[in-house]
Homo-oligomer: A and B are copies of this chain.
Amino acid sequence: MVHGKGFKSRGKSLKKQIIIDTALTVFHRKGYRSATLDDVAHELGLTRPAIYHYVSSKEDLLSQIYIQAMEKFFNIIYEIPAMELTPPEKLRLFISRHLNNVVIENLAMFSVFFSEENQLGKQEFETIQVEKRKFSKVIENIINDGMKQGFFRQVNARLQANAIIGMTNWLYRWYKPEQSVFHPDEIVEQFTSLVEKGLMKTVSESDIVVDAEYMDVHATKLRTKSQIMQELKASVHKTASLINELENYPDTA
């Protein structure tokens, strides 16, 4: 009995929302197929007939959960392409928004979302598939733009998008908010750095000089003088070791 006490004093639309939230908890705990409307009613301290004023069936509840999940998961991602940001910044924002979305408060919703889609009606199932492809396309386009603009090395954008989606979505399988030793920010940072470094061109991969300069200008923003100094030392060292390598290269002519 989670919401029992406050339920009766709420307005109709809020009551419906409380029922949906409770159904989400019950479906997450018992699995959709094992859960009944009686379980949902019991959790609320209500009878099943009382629930029928607000929802028509268990299937209806699942539909409502999916509609709300789509709004939560997809809309804040669909905003990203139109933003005034570079592709690497967009990618970082995607990972941060998507992970926080999953981690911070929607773990149960996300888990039901990925576990029960086969229980949806045909048409709703298809709607979800269309949205998932659209979601995937957002990241694919960011990666494609990043390649065109010289930030990212040449990769297969679709496969890399799948890798990134997999890495972030999988969180719902291992992240336990109540037990985790990791702060959500740390997870975002670790995942973002893996992807950024994994996709970014290294300087020696920049085939066009203007790209390298563009990147340098962007990279500069956050660096102190001593960091640039450190990088210069490393660069001189690298240059020297390359000359050394060429000097010792077997003479095959």
Q: Which residues of A contact B (CB under 8 A)?
A: 31, 33-34, 114-115, 118, 153, 155-156, 159-160, 162-171, 173-174, 182, 186-187, 190-191, 193-200, 202-206, 209, 212-213, 216, 220, 225, 228-232, 234-239, 241-243, 245-246, 249
Can you list 27 residue pairs at the A/B interface with Cβ under 8 Å?
A: A114-B173, A115-B115, A155-B190, A155-B194, A156-B182, A162-B170, A163-B190, A165-B170, A166-B169, A166-B171, A166-B173, A194-B198, A194-B199, A195-B198, A197-B197, A197-B198, A197-B199, A197-B202, A198-B198, A202-B202, A203-B238, A205-B234, A212-B234, A228-B245, A229-B246, A232-B242, A239-B239
Number of copies: 2
- Determine which residue in A167, A191, A243 has the highest number of CB atoms from chain B within 10 A of its CB, and name it: A167
Q: From known contacts A193-B198, A197-B197, A249-B228, infer whether A234 and B203 are also in contact, taking CB-CB under 8 Å.
A: yes
Residue on B nearest A31 in the bound complex, by CB: B118
Question: Does the CB pair B212–A241 fall under 8 Å?
Answer: yes
Residue on B nearest A244 in the bound complex, by CB: B216
Question: Does the CB pair A182–B159 fall under 8 Å?
Answer: yes
Question: Does the CB pair B238–A225 fall under 8 Å?
Answer: no
Question: Does the CB pair A190–B238 fall under 8 Å?
Answer: no
Interfacial chain B residues near A159, Cβ < 8 Å: 182, 186-187, 190-191
